[in-house]
Amino acid sequence: MHGIVFIQDLATVMLVAGLTTVLFQRLRQPVVLGYIIAGLLVGPHTLPVIFIHDEETIRTLSELGMILLLFALGLEFSLKKLRAVGGAALVAAFAEIVLMVWIGYEIGRFFGWSAMDSLFLGAMLSISSTTIIMKALEDLGLKRERFAQLMFGILVVEDLLAIVLMALLTGIASTGGVAAGEALAAVGRLGLFMAVSLVVGLLLVPRVVDYIAKVSRDDVLLVAVLGICFGFCLLVTELGYSVALGAFMIGAIVAESKSLVRIERIVMPVRDMFSAVFFVAIGMLIDPDLLLEYAWPITVVTVAVVLGKVITCSFGSFVAGNDGRTSLRVGMGLAQIGEFSFVIASLGLTLKVTSGFLYPVAVAVSAITTFLTPYLIRSSDPLAGFLGRVLPKRVTGVFGAYTEWMGNLGLQGQGAIVMKMIRRLVWHVVINTALVVAVFIIVAFAYRRGFLHLDLLTDEPTVRRSLAWSMAALLSLPMIVATYRKAGALGMLLAELSIPDRFGARTFRIRSVLGRIIPLAAMAVMGLLVAALASTILPPREVALVLILVGVGLTWLLWRVLVQVHARLQAAIRDTLEKPGQDHPE
């Protein structure tokens, strides 16, 4: 009987969604609005007739839609694209998110809402909709414009910062507040987890996916890719992070495979179906009476989203070095909220820290701003031209001078090459240090769960910890060697740049001493991190000293082998990131 009820409910949802979206397509409006209105029509708050009998099952399917939606966003989030957008998108996105979170929080407090409601409102207002913006730009034929490319870069960074924001919100909701130290620790743990997941994932997942794509049909590839997606989401939830983080990250990792175009082609129909259920379920939560009751806050929040995002995104883009016309077009194109806002609103409901009215308010604001998006994009160029004519020449001259100054600020020629080398070496040191720390944390986690107690060998806790610590050290030896080598190269480069030749015969000696300080400091920082974060398996001091000496001797004996192992791993990651996909159009 339950099966029949479920099929009836699903048929109702899909039929109403289909009819509504056909109408919205004819009206040239975003189909997301059609899905939300379909949910409003079949929801429990609109008509006296009960269309949906098992709302809980529909909401479960909508969570599946959320996972697939974020997975698809991850597929569009390419690490190559993130590297290409540069610092301008990062500056603009960071400025927008910080200012919009503050604006949303102040609006919530102005209406007397709780601190948690206000904080979640600010988070919801800070993230623009990648799906809606890309669709609007495509419909208007503007995807290849310079401002559109900058908008896409900002959206890429926004999506990444949204994941960090959701992790912080989860911590705040769980503890009631996060101190500065705890917030930095949370971001650090999240960054460590993401770095390790990306490195390990890039070594394994694209190759596995490409092999399956090479030997299998589309249906087998679809099942395998979705299995990888849901399996990684399960792992992420086991580690205490949001399922949205897992879906987005595994999408970004799969996006580096050569078969990306084929994967997108077979995944998108499934995503579209369950995403429709997701947006319909959002519409089902809307109570028209509640919208009338909160009409004034909805109006204020809508105006704040449009004006706030136009101002903050334009300001961030301009500060990053873009001209006023481009900055204004970027700001007006990003003036809406969308799918990530719904995910953040769902997070608040799941954690039971936000009020019932906040979700419908966010949906209403999203629907209004989504409707306005094409018109704002279309009117941005005429408005930029109008402002250019009416603003005083002195003001436009200052703006132009600033843009030119920012354009000339970057290093040129040899200096740019040196800075690129320094950045590359620093990233190598940071990533390898993170991997070493991650290996020790994973082994410590396995030890706490009882997987490494090794009762067959010994039941002495000290010996158990020493064996676990030795295992972690052995696994991380290639990364330890790489950290030392890259830090040594960084030290020598900085010594050459900072120590002039006027010291005569002592120049080489001073440079040599300075060049050795940086690798030793890197090893000391790594040791402190390991001792602090993997203290569960830390052996007694005397035993640890002996194990370190043994490790140094082993490293000396196997130095060449360890260097070759790390070089192969590094080459594999570089090959994944830089080799063009065979399925990509030229």
pLDDT tens digits, one per residue of 15-57: 888 888 788 778 777 677 777 788 878 777 776 656 666 667 7
Please name the residue that has the structure tokens 């390790």: 196
Given this model, what pLDDT does residue 176 score? 60
Residue 375 sits at φ, ψ, to 5 deg, of -70, -35
Is pLDDT of 525 > 80?
yes
Task: For residue range 382-411, list pLDDT tens digits in order.
Answer: 887 887 778 787 777 777 776 766 665 554
CA distance linking residue 403 with residue 261, whole number of Å: 38
- Candidates 431, 436, 513; CA nearest to 194 is 431
73 and 210, same domain (yes or no): yes
Task: For residue range 48-91, list pLDDT tens digits in order.
Answer: 656 666 667 776 777 787 788 778 877 876 666 666 655 667 77
- Candidates 20, 13, 21; CA nearest to 53 is 13
Given this model, what pLDDT does residue 78 score? 65
Given this model, what pLDDT does residue 583 score? 42
**Residues near 512 by beta carbon (within 8 Å), at least 6 away in sequence:** 495
Contact 258, 582 (CB under 8 A): yes
The 3 state secondary structure assigned to 206-265 is HHHHHHHHHHCCHHHHHHHHHHHHHHHHHHHHHCCCCHHHHHHHHHHHHCCCCCHHHHHH
Contact 236, 242 (CB under 8 A): yes
| Residue where a domain stops, chosen among 365, 381, 397 | 381
| Residue where a domain stops, chosen among 359, 381, 403 | 381
Given this model, what pLDDT does residue 303 score? 92
Report residue 585's pLDDT band, with 50, 70 and 90 as the boundaries: very low
CA distance linking residue 456 with residue 434, whole number of Å: 32
* pTM score over 0.85: no
For residues 127-134, average pLDDT: 76
For residues 527-538, average pLDDT: 76
Residue 30 within a domain: no
Given this model, what pLDDT does residue 432 score? 81
Given this model, what pLDDT does residue 422 score? 79
For residues 161-186, average pLDDT: 67
371 and 432, same domain (yes or no): no
Report residue 97's pLDDT band, with 50, 70 and 90 as the boundaries: confident
Residue 25 within a domain: no
CA distance linking residue 250 with residue 232, whole number of Å: 7
374 and 417, same domain (yes or no): no
For 582, counting Cβ atoms within 10 Å of its Cβ (0-12 exposed, 13-18 middle, 19+ buried), the class is: middle
First to last CA, the chain: 53
Given this model, what pLDDT does residue 227 score? 92
For residues 529-547, average pLDDT: 75
Residue 369 within a domain: yes
Contact 196, 565 (CB under 8 A): no
For residues 485-508, average pLDDT: 73
Tokens of 504: 């005569």
For residues 239-245, average pLDDT: 72
Task: For residue range 291-328, list pLDDT tens digits in order.
Answer: 788 889 889 999 999 998 888 888 888 877 777 788 88
Helix axes 324-333, 358-390, angle to 10 degrees: 160
AA identity, residue 63? E
Residue 493 within a domain: yes
Is pLDDT of 250 > 70?
yes
Q: How many CB atoms lie within 10 A of CB 528?
A: 10
CA distance linking residue 517 with residue 523, whole number of Å: 10
Cα angle for residues 186, 188, 190 (degrees, 5° grid): 70
Least-confidence region, from 56-60, 181-185, 196-200, 564-568: 181-185
- Candidates 337, 270, 278; CA nearest to 133 is 337
- CATH number for the domain spanning 219: value is 1.20.1530.20
The tally of domains found in the chain comes to 2
373 and 417, same domain (yes or no): no
428 and 352, same domain (yes or no): no
**Residues near 499 by beta carbon (within 8 Å), at least 6 away in sequence:** 507, 510, 511, 514
Tokens of 556: 């000396």
376 and 449, same domain (yes or no): no
What average pLDDT does the structure give for the chain?
77
Report residue 584's pLDDT band, with 50, 70 and 90 as the boundaries: very low
Q: Report which DSSP code applies to 538.
A: P
Is pLDDT of 225 > 50?
yes
**Residues near 24 by beta carbon (within 8 Å), at least 6 away in sequence:** 30, 31, 33, 34, 37
CA distance linking residue 573 with residue 559, whole number of Å: 21
Residue 49 within a domain: no
Task: Quote the domain boundaries for residue 301.
Answer: 58-381
For 579, counting Cβ atoms within 10 Å of its Cβ (0-12 exposed, 13-18 middle, 19+ buried), the class is: exposed
CA distance linking residue 245 with residue 223, whole number of Å: 21
Given this model, what pLDDT does residue 437 score? 80
Report residue 183's pLDDT band, with 50, 70 and 90 as the boundaries: low
Residue 332 within a domain: yes
For residues 450-456, average pLDDT: 57
276 and 324, same domain (yes or no): yes
Provide the percentage of residues in the chain whose pLDDT is more than 70: 81
Structure-model confidence comparison of residues 316 and 178, the more confident one = 316
For residues 520-540, average pLDDT: 79
AA identity, residue 50? I
Structure-model confidence comparison of residues 228 and 375, the more confident one = 228
435 and 573, same domain (yes or no): yes
472 and 552, same domain (yes or no): yes
Is pLDDT of 243 > 80?
no
Given this model, what pLDDT does residue 29 score? 72
Q: How many CB atoms lie within 10 A of CB 14?
A: 15
Alpha helices of 534-558 — where are they, by DSSP H?
A: 541-557
| Residue where a domain stops, chosen among 329, 363, 381 | 381
142 and 257, same domain (yes or no): yes
Residue 8 within a domain: no
Tokens of 449: 């769960």
Given this model, what pLDDT does residue 567 score? 77
Given this model, what pLDDT does residue 50 score? 62
Contact 239, 438 (CB under 8 A): no
Residue 391 within a domain: no
Report residue 518's pLDDT band, with 50, 70 and 90 as the boundaries: confident
Given this model, what pLDDT does residue 145 score? 76
CA distance linking residue 317 with residue 77, whole number of Å: 20
- Candidates 257, 68, 76; CA nearest to 153 is 76
127 and 208, same domain (yes or no): yes
Contact 336, 372 (CB under 8 A): yes
**Residues near 419 by beta carbon (within 8 Å), at least 6 away in sequence:** 411
433 and 371, same domain (yes or no): no
